Every structure is written in structure tokens, then in C-alpha cells.
């Protein structure tokens, strides 16, 4: 039996139990595999149906990360073996993203409170897990980001829905730069609900076990809120770099003019503010096609339900898997590690509105239903 995921239940007040799922791949910063996504989704269903379980906790082993994203090595291997341009022929990729997206959607719609201990690195697939939790905790070590532009794809796992709902311009900036947010910025943007010390895990467990949980979802959500508020420190002081630059970023990155937004971000590459300069430099090294796709997905997500956004992202990610940029981005970052990806298209001007439409063409055969058609039904 795989030890990549650890499941446990802790005795708590009123004969209830606290269910804990631990991502247990610390050497890969708890990167998600296809099997982990399937096993976690299955276990969440079992706990959802168990009347004795009051709530679920998601956490990562190792102290460095909750979850840094998906298992890119396996996805890269599947892309190497697949026929280039065949968006439906990569069976591993289409299964991985279908299972992962279903898991994330399940968490969004879970029938019991879900506490996500988002300490350390929370990126990519980790954001997908955390985003749907009802009670999201960050700590002084949290580094929250969607850096997919560096590997030739886009902020997925429902992130188009999340980013589009941020204040004007902010979601576009985060998608195009992969900028890292600390606990204070996550709280400021509504991406997290509570701030605790990273060393407070055991104190949290003791408090959860000592709480008189009920059989009602809403009552337990209130009790969990009280526990987390009672443990919140008064001496937490995080830098909050985005909040300090909020108006400048929002003004530059809002609106429909993609090329003007890109030019403005690129202009910050030598800014005196090191956080802003780093964000701009990441954008300039990233895939121009990913920038256009992430921007377009957020525009298309406006007014869509969460299920519809997952369905749209699934269509787009399969086309990414069949194209050149995802494979090239992973190669340059993780395989050859030369940090010199050869992006196609190679410029923002070439990644125009006509070019991006290919990512919204269904990959599956005519007459076959969307693989996520039943989400939200």
C-alpha cells in the first residue's frame, strides 16, 4: 500500500472524530500524483458518509510545503510517449487532470468543514486543494503562488474562477507573474481565512480534540472558527508586499488591453522594489502563450459557475499537453535544468487572440460527452 498519503482519525469531544489526510511526499514538496488524487477523493467520500467524523484536515508532511503542485515528471514522461498534437491520445494526462479537477471540486462542495493547513509552499495543485477548503490557514512560512507561466501552462485547478474574482487587475498580475504571496497578502485578498504560527500544529490538534463537536455541519463550522480564532497570534507581522503595491498593480493590470498590461509588467523588471522586479522578471522569462491563455481564461470565466470553469480549464489543459510549451517548460526546469525554454510563440505579439483559440477546441472525439460534464449536476 502506498505511503504517499496518510489517513488518520483522532478522537474528539462528544464521541466525534477529526479526520486527517497528510500528503506524504516531502522530498517532492508533496507533489500530487494521479494515485494520490484518486485515493484522497475516495477517502473524502468515506469520511463524508461517516457520521462520527466532524471535520477533515488537509496537511503536508515535512514542514517545507503543504503541496507544491502536481507530479510533473510523470506528466512529462506521458508527453514524451504521446503523439505530438494528439490532445486526446495522452491517456495518463487526461486521467490525471480529470481526477485532480474532480477532487478539487469535491472539496469545494464538501458536506463537512475542511481545514487546510497551508503552511510552507502552496502552489499549483496545492492551491487547488486549499482553495475549496472552508477554513484556510496560512502561517509565517506560507508562499502561495500560481507559477504555471514558467512551465508553459496556465493557472488551472479552478484558479481561473478564483483569480477572476479578485479585485480588478490583481488576478491578471498573479497569473502573468507567478508572484508569491505571504500570509498577510493571502488574508488581504481573501485567499486564506486564518493566520497561525507554523509551530502551532500540535496546539491546534489538542484544541480540535478538546472541542465538543456536534452532528451539524454549520455548528461544526462555527466551532472550528472559534478554535482557529482562539489560537491566532497577536505578534504576527508579515511583509505583505502586494498590499503595499496594490493600487499600482491594480491600475496597470486591469482592463482588456493585453499587450499594454504585458508592457507595463515588463517595465517593472528593474524596479527598486525587489519583490515587484522579481515578479516582472518571472513574467519576461515565462511563456508568452501562457500569459495570453491565462489572461483569456480569466475573461471567459466571468459569469461562469465553478463547474463550468473546471470544464473550460480541462479543455484547455489537454490542448496544452498536446502542444510544445508544456513539454518544453518542464524539460528546461526539471529535466535538463538549463532554464532556457524555447517558447512557441516566442513573443507577446505573436500570442494573439487568434492563436489562443486553439485551446478552447474539445480534444475528445465527436459524439463523446465532456469528461467532466457531470460536475455540478
Residue 270 in this model has a pLDDT that exceeds 80: yes
Conformation bin of residue 303: beta by default, left when phi > 0, alpha when psi is -120 to 50: left
Assign 17 a pLDDT band (cuts: 50, 70, 90). Answer: very high
Helix (H), strand (E) at residue 114:
strand 114-118
Rounded to the nearest integer, the mean pLDDT of the chain is 97
CA terminus-to-terminus distance, the chain:
33
What are the pLDDT digits (tens) for 185-195? 999 999 999 99
Residue 128 in this model has a pLDDT that exceeds 90: yes
The pair phi, psi for residue 22, each rounded to 5°, is -115, 120
pLDDT of 237: 85
| In-domain check, residue 376 | no
Residue 306 in this model has a pLDDT that exceeds 80: yes
Contact 99, 38 (CB under 8 A): yes
Assign 1 a pLDDT band (cuts: 50, 70, 90). Answer: low
3-state secondary structure of 342: coil
Alpha helices in 70-136 (DSSP H): 72-81, 91-108, 125-131
**Cell 507559477 -> residue:** 147
Quote the cell numbers at residue 197: 504560527
| In-domain check, residue 235 | yes
Q: What does the buried/exposed string (b/e) look like for 227-262 if buried means 16 or more CB atoms within 10 Å of the residue's CB?
A: bbeebeeeeeebebbbbebbeebbebbbeeebeebb
Contact 119, 137 (CB under 8 A): yes
In total, the chain counts a number of residues equal to: 377
What are the pLDDT digits (tens) for 364-376? 999 999 999 999 8
Contact 290, 319 (CB under 8 A): no
**Cell 500524483 -> residue:** 33
Residue 377 in this model has a pLDDT that exceeds 90: no
What are the pLDDT digits (tens) for 210-228? 999 999 999 999 999 999 9
What CATH number does residue 71 fall under? 3.90.226.10
pLDDT of 81: 93
| In-domain check, residue 371 | no
pLDDT of 298: 98
Structural domain including 123 reads 5-360
| In-domain check, residue 203 | yes
CA 327/CA 320 separation, integer angstroms: 9
pLDDT of 210: 97
Rounded to an integer, the average pLDDT of 111-128 is 98
pLDDT of 236: 82
| In-domain check, residue 377 | no
| In-domain check, residue 197 | yes
Count of structural domains, the chain: 1
CA 144/CA 134 separation, integer angstroms: 17
| In-domain check, residue 238 | yes
What are the pLDDT digits (tens) for 311-358? 999 999 999 999 999 999 999 999 999 999 999 999 999 999 999 999
Q: What does the buried/exposed string (b/e) look like for 32-46 if buried means 16 or more CB atoms within 10 Å of the residue's CB?
A: bbbebbbbbbeebee
| In-domain check, residue 173 | yes
Amino acid at each position: 500500500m502506498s505511503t504517499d498519503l496518510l489517513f488518520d482519525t483522532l478522537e474528539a469531544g462528544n464521541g466525534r472524530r477529526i479526520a486527517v489526510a497528510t500528503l506524504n511526499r516531502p522530498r517532492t514538496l508533496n507533489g500530487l500524483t494521479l494515485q494520490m488524487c484518486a485515493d484522497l477523493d475516495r477517502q473524502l467520500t468515506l469520511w463524508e458518509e461517516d457520521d462520527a467524523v466532524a471535520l477533515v484536515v488537509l496537511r503536508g508532511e515535512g514542514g517545507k510545503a503543504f503541496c507544491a503542485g502536481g507530479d510533473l515528471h510523470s506528466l512529462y514522461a506521458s508527453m514524451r510517449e504521446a503523439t505530438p498534437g494528439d490532445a486526446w491520445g495522452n491517456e495518463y494526462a487526461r486521467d490525471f487532470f480529470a481526477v485532480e479537477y474532480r477532487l478539487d471540486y469535491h472539496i469545494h462542495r464538501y458536506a463537512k468543514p475542511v481545514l487546510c493547513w497551508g503552511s510552507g509552499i502552496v502552489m499549483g495543485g496545492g492551491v487547488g486543494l486549499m482553495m475549496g477548503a472552508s477554513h484556510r490557514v496560512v502561517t509565517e512560512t506560507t508562499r502561495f503562488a500560481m507559477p504555471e507561466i514558467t512551465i508553459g501552462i496556465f493557472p488551472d485547478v479552478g484558479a481561473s474562477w478564483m483569480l477572476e474574482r479578485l479585485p480588478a487587475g490583481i488576478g491578471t498580475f498573479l497569473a502573468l507573474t507567478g508572484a508569491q504571496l505571504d500570509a498577510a497578502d493571502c488574508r488581504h485578498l481573501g485567499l486564506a481565512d486564518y493566520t497561525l504560527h507554523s509551530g502551532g500544529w500540535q496546539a491546534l490538534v489538542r484544541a480540535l480534540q478538546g472541542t465538543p463537536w456536534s452532528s451539524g455541519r454549520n455548528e461544526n463550522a462555527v466551532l472550528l472558527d472559534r478554535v482557529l480564532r482562539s489560537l491566532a497570534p497577536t505578534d504576527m507581522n508579515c511583509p505583505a508586499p502586494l498590499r503595499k503595491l496594490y493600487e499600482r498593480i491594480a491600475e496597470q493590470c486591469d482592463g482588456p488591453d493585453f499587450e499594454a498590461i504585458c508592457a507595463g509588467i515588463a517595465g517593472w523588471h528593474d524596479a527598486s522594489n525587489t519583490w515587484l522586479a522579481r515578479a516582472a522578471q518571472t513574467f519576461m522569462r515565462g511563456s508568452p502563450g501562457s500569459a495570453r491563455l491565462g489572461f483569456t481564461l480569466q475573461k471567459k470565466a466571468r459569469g461562469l459557475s465553478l463547474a463550468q470553469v473546471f470544464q473550460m480549464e480541462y479543455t484547455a489543459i489537454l490542448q496544452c499537453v498536446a502542444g510544445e510549451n508544456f513539454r518544453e517548460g518542464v524539460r528546461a526546469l526539471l529535466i535538463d535544468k538549463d532554464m532556457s525554454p524555447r517558447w512557441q510563440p516566442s513573443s507577446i505579439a505573436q500570442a494573439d487572440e487568434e492563436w489562443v483559440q486553439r485551446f478552447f477546441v474539445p480534444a475528445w472525439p465527436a459524439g463523446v460527452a465532456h469528461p467532466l460534464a457531470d460536475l455540478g449536476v
